[in-house]
Structure 1
């Protein structure tokens, strides 16, 4: 037996108590109170605004001291926002992709890490919606409606190829997982860890998504993420040492990409929302600093930095980029909703291209806003106690998730040659 262990950093990091194993552990996973149902988009966005106001207050301290946001995540889940994509036929709100994306953007504007942590939770729910059996959907949707959260163990590190090396092993009727994952955003905080595995018994590299209880015997979660941005996402390692999983927790994954589905564009839409939020957060910080603290350049011959004509021009330019990204996000969400309703090669391609367009726009907007914050605020904005660099660091880290140059390639090939973009599970 290899017990779960968490390695956390920071002087005030919270160490959650160990949980029992086996079926008792599954019962121990359940939160004390189920989150409220959010009936519509207005209610969901009002919750997101309230949370964002609260999360923003200590965002700089969490970044500086790497304080893991256990209590903030509990509040986030308790709001009901983590359940808004559960379909109505399974008792959830079934809210649209635009509401989801906007709620994520508003949280990310306050704290980029808190905006990213649920991304893989929503991704797992989409995989479940597309490829899970009705029994699997009902079981895991009920878990989410009860307040449980999903992390992820999808990516692997240390190899130049994209082959998955984490295996699903079968021993009679029993299934086990062996392997090591990295970039496991949210796994540290999760009740379940959806894990991408290769089924050895099939001999053809077929992949599945196995929902692994976070406290299962043989699971080790190591908080070894040390990127300079998105510092408290918990995006470190998960080790699996002969971890047993029930067959009914194993959901088809590869099969969902052998036909047109929205898993890819849905995931990318959320990444765009995170980057948009980072741009908004940096821009808000810029406006505050220029109005209240920055000094005008001597040649401007004005008393206030906010009256500097060149600063005003730069502010207008940033604003246009963010507004364009917001419009593209709303547009892309509509394409994702349409493809979810009627998935075929063309509708899914259109959704993928619309999302690629907003990914390109939000990448530029987030990096630009984070950098120009300092251009317009001056040297005093770089003082470490302000932690204003976190906006750029978070944007630079998150926008590396997948290369924007390939977004432009997919867009160009589609509009010029009518070549449909590839379908794959890259997040």
Structure 2
């Protein structure tokens, strides 16, 4: 009698035990800034097409993420010397704002990959840069296991990495792990035995690494920004980055990451504005006292739309200004230039936060009660804005800017400004 081993059920996408398949073909490699912007414009309607239903049902965008990484956009900041486009920070911000106006949750899934690309560029060995940059350009996705839920603040890490034979073992628990569920490689922030911050890049299917889709926030619903559990996950020495070089010293990594967050908020605002204009022109009714036949001729509605547009353009202008300063800082990095970049990004973040929340709320005021019906799910704009803008408190941006200009005090060392 032949005895067959019992077969284990194959986990469905997103379930515990599932990990994404390796790219079946190399990703497209984007050549320059102009192509990056063109690809983003082309992807925006693809992202927007299912955004409403994905948000409503918390349907994770597996297919869209594949399209996203295969488009080549995930590798656009990789330096030209390693095969990337090496796009400017101005372009990077525009790419994120464009994509986020279609679907900010889907767009944010890639955000942490760009921070790690910067860490690799600044702290990795030549072999590490060629290995990891090559994988990203081929379509491998970098995820995120950075933040922790239980520490007294965002800089307190309990995750530890220890030497074990010819390798390392990392143990801990992470949350806000945007991108990890969809990743092929999961960068993990941990403290080494000397108390220094390192980044250990683990394979997504490594033993002891478990990604749990337990993200329950009312906004940014499909980012899968949940838990990563690490139980003695083995790390090869070739995948260990001395990240303390940039995290424990002044660097542009923090403001580069913050710029992308500001761009996502600007994109949310633009998406809400576009939805508002379409609703007012084609569906909303004029208020009885206006004496108009169309809502788009109501003078108060016209003025309110004008106000939103002006505020959005101001936010986008500061975002571009911050990108230009970051490009200058990256070209010549010193304490003064890093301070200028942090303050410029903080200024942009203030306005992108304000306009994202305002545009998401004004949509209902200008489009009327029917816009609140559940079938439309227009509240996703405000929910996404309210959730995403909590990433780092904007009230401290005002403080940093005031201290800088009034008292000549440089912004904090950490990466949240």
TM-score interval (norm. to shorter): over 0.9
2:35: which partner in 1?
Answer: 43
1:314: which partner in 2?
Answer: 304
Correspondence for 2:168 among 160, 167, 175: 175
User: Shift in Å at residue 15 of structure 1?
Assistant: 5.7
Q: CA 1:128–1:69 in structure 2 vs 1: closer, same or farther (change >3 Å)?
A: same
Q: Secondary structure of 2:338's match? A: helix
Moved more, 169-178 or 119-128: 169-178
Q: CA 1:37–1:16 in structure 2 vs 1: closer, same or farther (change >3 Å)?
A: farther
How many Å separate the matches in 2 of 1:50 and 1:359?
26
Q: Secondary structure of 1:163's match? A: coil
1:295: which partner in 2?
Answer: 285
2:151 paired with 1:159: yes
Correspondence for 1:397 among 387, 395, 403: 387
Q: CA 1:243–1:14 in structure 2 vs 1: closer, same or farther (change >3 Å)?
A: closer
Is the Cα–Cα contact under 8 Å of residues 96 and 267 in structure 2 kept in the other structure?
Answer: yes
Q: Secondary structure of 1:353's match? A: helix
Is the Cα–Cα contact under 8 Å of residues 98 and 333 in structure 1 kept in the other structure?
Answer: yes
User: Shift in Å at residue 300 of structure 1?
Assistant: 1.0
**TM-score normalised according to structure 1 size:** 0.92
Q: Secondary structure of 2:54's match? A: helix
Moved more, 255-264 or 240-249: 255-264
1:336: which partner in 2?
Answer: 326
Query: Runs (4+) of structure 1 moved beyond 6 Å?
Result: 5-8
1:187: which partner in 2?
Answer: 180
2:252 paired with 1:262: yes
Is the Cα–Cα contact under 8 Å of residues 166 and 179 in structure 1 kept in the other structure?
Answer: yes
- Deviation per CA, 1:253-273, whole angstroms, max 9, x where unpaired? 222134331101100000000
Is the Cα–Cα contact under 8 Å of residues 11 and 17 in structure 2 kept in the other structure?
Answer: no
Is the Cα–Cα contact under 8 Å of residues 255 and 415 in structure 2 kept in the other structure?
Answer: no
Q: Secondary structure of 1:259's match? A: coil
Is the Cα–Cα contact under 8 Å of residues 131 and 253 in structure 1 kept in the other structure?
Answer: yes
How many Å separate the matches in 1 of 2:15 and 2:177?
18
- Deviation per CA, 1:343-393, whole angstroms, max 9, x where unpaired? 000111101110001000100010000000001011100000101000000
Q: Secondary structure of 2:181's match? A: helix
1:131: which partner in 2?
Answer: 123
RMSD: 1.8
Q: CA 1:403–1:18 in structure 2 vs 1: closer, same or farther (change >3 Å)?
A: closer
Q: Secondary structure of 1:36's match? A: coil
Is the Cα–Cα contact under 8 Å of residues 171 and 233 in structure 2 kept in the other structure?
Answer: yes
User: Shift in Å at residue 31 of structure 1?
Assistant: 1.0
Correspondence for 1:239 among 210, 215, 229: 229
Q: Secondary structure of 1:188's match? A: coil
User: Shift in Å at residue 88 of structure 1?
Assistant: 0.5
Correspondence for 2:62 among 67, 70, 82: 70
How many Å separate the matches in 1 of 2:390 and 2:84?
33
Is the Cα–Cα contact under 8 Å of residues 37 and 91 in structure 2 kept in the other structure?
Answer: yes
Correspondence for 2:272 among 264, 267, 282: 282
- Deviation per CA, 1:164-201, whole angstroms, max 9, x where unpaired? 001102123321011100000010000111110011x2
Is the Cα–Cα contact under 8 Å of residues 101 and 268 in structure 2 kept in the other structure?
Answer: yes
1:121: which partner in 2?
Answer: 113
2:191: which partner in 1?
Answer: 198
1:142: which partner in 2?
Answer: 134
How many Å separate the matches in 2 of 1:242 and 1:98?
40
Q: Secondary structure of 2:191's match? A: strand
User: Shift in Å at residue 29 of structure 1?
Assistant: 5.7
1:52: which partner in 2?
Answer: 44
How many Å separate the matches in 2 of 1:246 and 1:14?
26
2:353: which partner in 1?
Answer: 363
- Deviation per CA, 1:67-122, whole angstroms, max 9, x where unpaired? 11010011011111111011011111111111111111111101110121100011
User: What runs of 5+ residues in structure 2 fail to find an aligned partner?
Assistant: 1-8
**TM-score normalised according to structure 2 size:** 0.95
User: Shift in Å at residue 14 of structure 1?
Assistant: 6.2
- Deviation per CA, 1:319-343, whole angstroms, max 9, x where unpaired? 0010001111111001111111110
User: Shift in Å at residue 159 of structure 1?
Assistant: 3.3
How many Å separate the matches in 2 of 1:45 and 1:65?
30
User: What runs of 5+ residues in structure 1 fail to find an aligned partner?
Assistant: 20-27
User: Shift in Å at residue 232 of structure 1?
Assistant: 0.5
Correspondence for 1:84 among 76, 84, 90: 76
